[in-house]
């Protein structure tokens, strides 16, 4: 007990020592004064020691009283309980503990009168039940606390804490979690391009460099690595190893990007990992799904699928165009067969259809009609961003080709085929009801794949390297057979879609984009007529100018905001495009009020992945073109969320340096 009151010793010892020193010094001044002070000092010291002794006796008596409140029978029964046990009063002071607690927990030390919170961290005397099931660490051991309350003989509330020593169990549990295996699949994105375009001497050197980087990286993390194919590897990593890779944000992507081909095109990797699966088979299945998602988002990134969904790392480089059209030919053949077995075909895009959405829908409509099948385009005539194209189509024989979403339900039968163009997300379709009613669905889209995509499509033609859905449809039409030929009006609709998404062949334009445009020009597309589809009224031009003038630059991003107007969804993307012409601006974000919330239109020149920024706000899109919408929020709060998303982007993905 004495050591429990060690704090009293300096309180008493310091004044006594000081008094003794003064008494000794007084001997040099006056010997009689010394004798008097010495006598007084002895009397005071004896009195203090006497009172301290009485204090200790009183404390022992108090603790004994509290302990006696536990009946003899109750104490004896608690002594034989095979768990360390502590009894505390309503003030949280320890009044009793059993022998096992003293020997195993306190290691023989006396703990009477100590606060129970010193042992059970965070224990609340007012509500002991808060400690129920809590894990604690005490003297290098781990315990799980269980609490119950009782009343003493005189009605005083007492709390009993049972300590279950599960140090070994938790050690094994920790090791079990840390050693859980995760299966991953690694793919060299542009392996085919390396094999096709590189010199024979460069092929072996480039592939050798890539394999060395992969082998060294996985060996550094003690991961199992096995080759599955020429461009594909299987990895198995423990949870502790995977966590280190995540902390390093999979810097293997940066290492691989340093290996360039002869035409200075960087090599890239895509990795899919299944984390937290109950079996290796399930983990491998999740890894394949994650890899599909990574490739669908343009490659050069890692996708991890777990019970909480998908997590993405990387994705900072531009997608490399696939130069082979084998996939297009296969998809065209499969679509032809699917259309041939359908009774009728409905073609539908996303809400607020733009030129690319409507243009690709018109291209597929013409092809389906020439295959001899009834077809209709599901379009909300009042809520779209392609009024100029719609009016031109209506004046050229397409007035009956369109059907409102609520009327399209009546056209759906058991063998109706729904063709979804320019989107792969069910929640932004022109009509969710039409989608749910159709049993057979096919998707044609170029946007980077997002979580929650359409997963019941019979054909999912997804090409994130394409510039637009109109480019993809233009290629498909050429492989549908000799009976399928598009006319001048369809060619201009498709060309307008390509020009919209490429910003007049500036952004995301590849060889196949120009080939598609050349084919459309051959089919009679008039570029002057197409350019007229992009014309604005003077009022729209002034609104766009005001939006651009309101912009501020933050970390290389131009941010503009505007109020709601009927044509704001059309003006905002144009303003975002204009802002990219400002020096030192990597990306632009235009935000505007819409339907009780705030919408965003984001653009970049390729130095910044705006899709990642918009995804953090619940949106998506492309690396150079994306959008998002927040509901039930004001402009200032939405602006702060945007700034946080930009900060988060730069913390995780530093911008690419312009070469």
Report residue 322's pLDDT band, with 50, 70 and 90 as the boundaries.
low
Mean pLDDT, rounded, for 630-644: 93
What is the CATH code for 179-314? 3.30.70.270
| pLDDT over 70 (residue 316) | no
Residue 642: what pLDDT?
Answer: 96
Residues 31-42 pLDDT 10s: 777 777 778 878
Query: What share of the chain in percent tops pLDDT 90?
Result: 47
User: Which residue, chain included where needed, has tokens 């010199």?
Assistant: 199
Residues 551/559, Cβ–Cβ less than 8 Å = yes
| pLDDT over 90 (residue 457) | yes
3-state DSSP assignment of residue 621: strand
| pLDDT over 50 (residue 5) | no
Looking at every residue in the chain, the average pLDDT score rounds to: 86
Residue 264: what pLDDT?
Answer: 67
Report residue 61's pLDDT band, with 50, 70 and 90 as the boundaries.
low
Residue 34: what pLDDT?
Answer: 73
| pLDDT over 70 (residue 654) | no
Q: What is the DSSP letter of 93?
A: B
| CATH topology match: 326-532 vs 538-652 | no
Residues 507/580, Cβ–Cβ less than 8 Å = no
Report residue 77's pLDDT band, with 50, 70 and 90 as the boundaries.
low
Report residue 658's pLDDT band, with 50, 70 and 90 as the boundaries.
very low
User: How many residues make up the chain in this entry?
Assistant: 659
Residue 266: what pLDDT?
Answer: 80
Q: Which of 49-58, 340-349, 505-514, 548-557 has the lowest mean pLDDT?
A: 49-58
Report residue 115's pLDDT band, with 50, 70 and 90 as the boundaries.
confident
Report residue 6's pLDDT band, with 50, 70 and 90 as the boundaries.
very low
Residue 13: what pLDDT?
Answer: 63
- Global confidence as pTM: 0.69
C-alpha 470, offset from chain centre: 30
Longest distance between any two alpha carbons in the chain, whole Å: 132
- d(CA 275, CA 265) in angstroms, rounded, equals 32
Report residue 587's pLDDT band, with 50, 70 and 90 as the boundaries.
very high
| pLDDT over 60 (residue 2) | no
C-alpha 453, offset from chain centre: 16
| Bridge partner list, 461 | 444
Report residue 405's pLDDT band, with 50, 70 and 90 as the boundaries.
very high
Residues 502-528 pLDDT 10s: 988 988 888 899 999 999 999 999 999
Report residue 225's pLDDT band, with 50, 70 and 90 as the boundaries.
very high
Q: CA 260 → CA 38, 266, 268, 273, 623, distances in Å? A: 93, 4, 9, 25, 21
| pLDDT over 90 (residue 70) | no
Mean pLDDT, rounded, for 392-408: 94
Tell me which architecture the domain covering 326-532 has in CATH.
Alpha-Beta Complex (3.90)
Highest mean pLDDT among 47-61, 315-329, 466-480, 605-619: 466-480
Instruction: Give the helix ranges, DSSP H, for 139-279.
Output: 167-178, 191-197, 200-220, 239-247, 252-257
- Strand order of the sheet with strand 85-88? 94-97, 85-88, 157-165, 141-151, 135-138
* Short-list 114, 120, 116, CA closest to 59: 114
Mean pLDDT, rounded, for 590-619: 90
* Short-list 532, 543, 533, 542, CA closest to 568: 543
Residue 201: what pLDDT?
Answer: 74
Tokens for 388, please give them. 């100029």
Residue 12: what pLDDT?
Answer: 59
* 299 or 603: which leads in pLDDT: 603
Strands (DSSP E) along 289-439, which ranges?
A: 301-306, 309-314, 344-348, 375-378, 402-403, 416-421
* 24 CB-near residues (< 8 Å, 6+ apart): 34
| 9-17, Cβ contacts within 8 angstroms, sequence gap of 24 or more | 12/48, 12/52, 16/41, 16/45, 16/48
| pLDDT over 60 (residue 63) | no
| pLDDT over 80 (residue 659) | no
* Short-list 216, 214, 235, 232, CA closest to 224: 235
Report residue 540's pLDDT band, with 50, 70 and 90 as the boundaries.
confident
Residue 56: what pLDDT?
Answer: 59
Topology classification of domain 538-652? Diaminopimelate Epimerase; Chain A, domain 1 (3.10.310)
3-state DSSP assignment of residue 308: coil
Q: CA 276 → CA 68, 241, 283, 287, 302, distances in Å? A: 53, 13, 7, 11, 16
What is the CATH code for 72-171? 3.30.450.20
Residue 371: what pLDDT?
Answer: 95
Report residue 420's pLDDT band, with 50, 70 and 90 as the boundaries.
very high
Tokens for 519, please give them. 């084919």
Mean pLDDT, rounded, for 8-23: 65
The domain spans of the chain are 2-68, 72-171, 179-314, 326-532, 538-652
Highest mean pLDDT among 115-119, 253-257, 493-497: 493-497
Residues 338-379 pLDDT 10s: 999 999 999 999 999 999 999 999 999 999 999 999 999 999
SS3 breakdown of the chain: % helix, strand, coil, rounded to 5?
45, 20, 30
3-state DSSP assignment of residue 542: helix
Do the bridges between strand 269-274 and strand 181-188 make them parallel or antiparallel, or are there none, so unpaired?
antiparallel
| pLDDT over 50 (residue 572) | yes
Residues 96-105 pLDDT 10s: 888 888 888 8
3-state DSSP assignment of residue 658: coil
For residue 557, count other CB atoms closer than 10 A to its CB: 24
For residue 425, the number of C-alpha atoms closer than 13 Å in the C-beta half-sphere is 15
Residue 86: what pLDDT?
Answer: 86
- d(CA 595, CA 153) in angstroms, rounded, equals 68
């Amino acid at each position: 007990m004495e050591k429990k009151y060690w704090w009293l010793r300096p309180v008493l010892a310091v004044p006594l020592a000081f008094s003794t020193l003064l008494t000794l010094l007084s001997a040099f001044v006056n010997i009689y004064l010394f004798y008097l002070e010495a006598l007084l000092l002895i009397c005071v010291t004896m009195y203090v020691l006497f009172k301290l002794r009485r204090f200790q006796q009183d404390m022992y008596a108090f603790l004994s009283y509290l302990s006696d409140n536990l009946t003899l029978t109750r104490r004896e029964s608690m002594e034989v309980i095979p768990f360390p046990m502590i009894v505390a009063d309503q003030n949280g002071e320890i009044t009793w503990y059993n022998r096992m607690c003293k020997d195993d927990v306190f290691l023989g030390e006396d703990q009477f009168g100590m606060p129970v919170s010193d042992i059970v961290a965070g224990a609340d005397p007012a509500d002991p039940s808060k400690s129920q099931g809590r894990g604690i660490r005490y003297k290098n051991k781990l315990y799980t606390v269980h609490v119950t309350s009782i009343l003493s003989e005189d009605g005083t509330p007492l709390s009993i804490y049972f300590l279950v020593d599960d140090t070994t169990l938790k050690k094994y549990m920790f090791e079990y979690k840390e050693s859980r295996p995760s299966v991953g699949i690694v793919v060299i994105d542009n392996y085919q391009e390396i094999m096709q375009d590189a010199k024979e001497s460069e092929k072996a050197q480039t592939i050798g460099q890539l394999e060395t980087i992969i082998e060294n990286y996985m060996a550094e993390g003690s991961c199992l690595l096995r080759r599955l194919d020429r461009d594909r590897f299987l990895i198995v990593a423990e949870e502790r190893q995977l966590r280190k890779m995540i902390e390093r944000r999979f810097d293997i992507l940066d290492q691989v990007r340093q290996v360039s081909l002869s035409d200075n095109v960087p090599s890239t990797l895509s990795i899919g990992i299944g984390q937290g699966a109950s079996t290796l088979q399930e983990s491998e299945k999740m890894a394949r799904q994650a890899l599909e998602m990574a490739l669908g988002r343009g490659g050069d990134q890692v996708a991890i699928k777990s019970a909480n969904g998908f997590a993405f790392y990387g994705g900072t480089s531009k997608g490399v165009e696939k130069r082979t059209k084998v996939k297009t030919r296969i998809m065209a053949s499969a679509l032809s067969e699917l259309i041939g077995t359908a009774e009728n075909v409905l073609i539908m895009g996303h809400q607020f259809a733009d030129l690319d959405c409507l243009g690709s829908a018109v291209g597929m409509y013409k092809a389906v009609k020439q295959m001899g099948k009834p077809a209709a385009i599901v379009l909300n005539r009042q809520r779209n961003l392609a009024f100029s194209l719609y009016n031109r189509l209506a004046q050229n024989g397409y007035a009956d080709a369109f059907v409102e979403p609520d009327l399209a339900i009546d056209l759906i039968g058991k063998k109706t085929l729904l063709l979804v163009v320019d989107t792969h997300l069910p929640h932004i379709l022109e009509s969710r009801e039409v989608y749910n009613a159709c049993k057979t669905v096919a998707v044609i889209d170029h946007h980077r794949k997002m979580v929650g995509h359409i997963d019941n499509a019979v054909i999912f033609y997804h090409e994130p390297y394409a510039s637009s859905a109109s480019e993809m449809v233009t290629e498909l039409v050429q492989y549908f057979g000799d009976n399928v030929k598009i006319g001048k009006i369809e060619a201009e609709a498709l060309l307008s879609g390509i020009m919209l998404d490429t910003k007049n062949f500036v952004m995301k334009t590849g060889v196949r984009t120009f080939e598609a445009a050349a084919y459309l020009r051959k089919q009679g597309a008039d570029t002057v007529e197409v350019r007229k589809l992009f014309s604005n009224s003077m009022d729209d031009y002034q609104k766009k100018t005001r939006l651009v003038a309101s912009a501020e630059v933050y970390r290389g991003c131009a941010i503009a905001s505007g109020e709601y107007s009927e044509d704001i969804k059309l003006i905002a993307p144009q303003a975002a495009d204009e802002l990219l012409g400002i020096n030192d601006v990597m990306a632009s974000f235009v935000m505007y009020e819409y339907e009780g919330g705030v919408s965003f239109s984001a653009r970049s020149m390729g130095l910044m992945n705006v899709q990642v920024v918009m995804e953090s706000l619940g949106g998506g899109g492309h690396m150079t073109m994306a959008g998002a919408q927040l509901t039930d929020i004001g402009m200032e709060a939405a602006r702060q969320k945007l700034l946080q998303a930009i900060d988060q982007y730069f913390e995780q993905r530093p911008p690419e340096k312009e070469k």
